[in-house]
Structure 1
């Protein structure tokens, strides 16, 4: 069974440290991350907003995975769990 119990800080930390996202701003308890293709090609920039809550709801986590470019939600959760 894949764990889906992550804090917002865990998700943000993995996206920044392993996913090459950069923090662009913080508003209240939400952080905005941005991903730009490493070689600067014309691939669209990705923006992800992560709530820095103790526990991120599954629907919110699914939206974060989709915005981050994950193709499969369970694989994204395993990746976050491995790298937190």
Structure 2
């Protein structure tokens, strides 16, 4: 699984919004969906590298695509 270190949760939310995801609900985690896939982002700063890699993979993006959205 890819690792993406040092990503703030707010930056990750903005990047996923650029990628077509919308916020569904918020609590200790931010749940986002693009209508097909659903991902949960923890409100940690920074999000752990291994966790962020899994979120990007679950979102159907590559590491390069996600970095361009940041």
Q: Secondary structure of 1:20's match? A: coil
How much is the aligned-residue C-alpha RMSD, in angstroms?
1.7
Q: Higher relative CO (CA 8 A, sep ≥ 6), structure 1 or 2?
A: 2
Using the size of structure 2 for normalisation, the TM-score is: 0.81
2:15 corresponds to which residue?
A: 14
Using the size of structure 1 for normalisation, the TM-score is: 0.69
TM-aligned CA deviation for residue 63 of structure 1:
0.8
Number of aligned residue pairs:
67
Q: Which runs of 5+ in 2 are unaligned?
A: none
Question: Which protein is bigger by CA-based radius of gyration?
Answer: 1
Instruction: Note if contact 2:15-2:66 (Cα within 8 Å) is conserved in structure 1.
Output: no
